[in-house]
């Protein structure tokens, strides 16, 4: 992969790196040079950067020392070695929805493919320690939406972020099912247990970050990431959230950006549903029971999944038992083993036969469903 940037974009990359993450300092610097990063670069090369409260002598000297084409060449070469691409706010592939928020990142680093526009980007967010109900809802929502052409946006953190990404990746017929926005460099997998999903997203969607490669996650990075999650999306779905949850940082960003907010209701006694129920009660979120509600909001007809119809007479005793269990919802391999009492050999052969026949399907994490 060869990175090809204009002189202005190369200067914007330099400015973003030397001033550090965050848009305020870059914006003020650009304002001082009539919006031209190239002019700021030339001024730094001559050591003529004006005085700013946010710019101490040490940082000004650092900008001067790195205002060389050779330095930017080295950055580009390193990005190419890591298979990481760059989109500045001027790039044709920079997402239009994100560009129009109050404080869009001036530079995005990404793995995979980035598009300026997508039919229906939808964020799915929620608890990092969700209930089984939350997991089922997030996975089904993501898969159903992606099957109907949506692109699922998430943060690839613990819990529902991962579940949503898995559901989107399971959707058939969608060649661009999901985007993950990171609170660290695009080559840093955090948490590390998400490496498998990270690799799949990089191949079929996009891994996106405003942070330079190698930058580790810190608590201050995640609110910055959250504005990008909502900024990339037309709507944000909250699946589960406690009454006081970090999820509401993204919700606040979405509301400020004029995005639609949806929420999955839950039992009033469940702590993990208090946040979503409050959003609905206060009129801040539209009640959502499934993908159809979201798709209807945007005038999109759901894409029905083709499933093989079966009758009990066509199934063996073992297959019928598994079929009945899965009619109530998806189950993990371990759950099926416990509920059926089958030994590993019997369970494996039965599941394989049913999957091969198109009766059931297996998802990431050894989850089985009809």
Alpha-carbon torsion angle 182, 186, 188, 189, nearest 10:
50
Does the global pTM surpass 0.85? no
Q: How is domain 121-297 classified at the architecture level of CATH? A: 3-Layer(aba) Sandwich (3.40)
In the prediction, which pLDDT does 155 show? Answer: 96
pLDDT along the chain (370 residues), means of 10: 90 92 87 94 92 84 93 96 96 95 96 90 95 93 93 95 96 90 96 96 96 94 96 97 93 97 93 95 95 91 60 78 85 89 86 79 80
| pLDDT, position 310 | 60
**Which among 51, 57, 66, 11 is positioned nearest to 35, based on CA atoms?**
11
The predicted-structure confidence for 203-219, as pLDDT tens digits, reads as follows 999 999 999 999 999 99
Determine the pLDDT at residue 215: 94
What pLDDT, on the 0 to 100 scale, is given for residue 52? 83
For residues 49, 50, 52, 55, the Cα torsion angle rounded to the nearest 10 degrees is 20
CATH topology of domain 312-369: Arc Repressor Mutant, subunit A (1.10.10)
Give the pLDDT confidence score for residue 205 in this predicted structure.
95
Compute the distance between CA of residue 236 and CA of residue 233 in angstroms, rounded to an integer: 7
Structure confidence by residue, pLDDT tens digits, 239-283: 999 998 989 999 999 999 999 999 999 988 999 999 999 999 999
- Domain residue spans of the chain: 1-80, 121-297, 312-369
- pLDDT, position 219: 92
């Amino acid at each position: 992969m060869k990175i090809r940037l204009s002189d202005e974009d190369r200067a914007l990359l330099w400015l973003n790196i030397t001033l550090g993450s965050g848009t305020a300092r870059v914006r003020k610097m650009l304002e001082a040079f009539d919006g031209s990063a190239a002019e700021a670069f030339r001024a730094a090369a001559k050591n003529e950067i004006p005085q700013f409260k946010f710019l101490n002598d040490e940082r000004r000297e650092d900008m001067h020392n790195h205002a060389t084409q050779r330095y930017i060449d080295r950055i580009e070469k390193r990005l190419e070695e890591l298979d990481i691409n760059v989109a500045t706010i001027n790039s044709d592939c920079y997402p239009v929805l994100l560009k129009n928020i109050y404080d869009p990142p001036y530079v995005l680093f990404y793995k995979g493919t980035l598009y300026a526009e997508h039919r229906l980007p939808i964020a799915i967010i929620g608890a990092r320690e969700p209930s089984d109900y939350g997991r089922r809802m997030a996975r089904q929502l993501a898969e159903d939406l992606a099957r109907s052409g949506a692109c699922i946006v998430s943060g690839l953190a613990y819990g529902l972020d991962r579940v949503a990404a898995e559901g989107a990746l399971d959707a058939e017929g969608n060649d661009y099912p999901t985007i993950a926005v990171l609170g660290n460099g695009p080559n840093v997998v955090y948490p590390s247990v998400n490496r498998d999903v990270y690799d799949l997203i990089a191949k079929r969607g996009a891994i996106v970050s405003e942070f330079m490669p190698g930058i580790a996650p810190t608590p201050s990075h995640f609110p910055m990431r959250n504005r990008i999650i909502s900024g990339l999306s037309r709507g944000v779905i909250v699946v589960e959230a406690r009454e006081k949850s970090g999820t509401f940082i993204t919700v606040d960003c979405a509301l400020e950006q004029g995005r639609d907010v949806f929420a999955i209701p839950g039992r009033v006694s469940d702590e993990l549903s208090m946040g979503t129920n409050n959003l609905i009660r206060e009129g801040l979120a539209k009640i959502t029971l499934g993908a159809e509600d979201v798709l209807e909001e945007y005038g999109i007809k759901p894409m029905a999944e083709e499933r093989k119809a079966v009758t009990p007479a066509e199934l063996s005793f073992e297959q019928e038992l598994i079929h009945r269990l899965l009619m109530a919802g998806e189950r993990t391999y371990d759950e099926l083993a416990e509920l059926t009492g089958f030994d590993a050999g019997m369970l494996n052969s039965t599941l394989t036969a049913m999957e091969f026949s198109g009766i059931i399907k297996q998802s990431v994490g050894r989850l089985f469903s009809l």
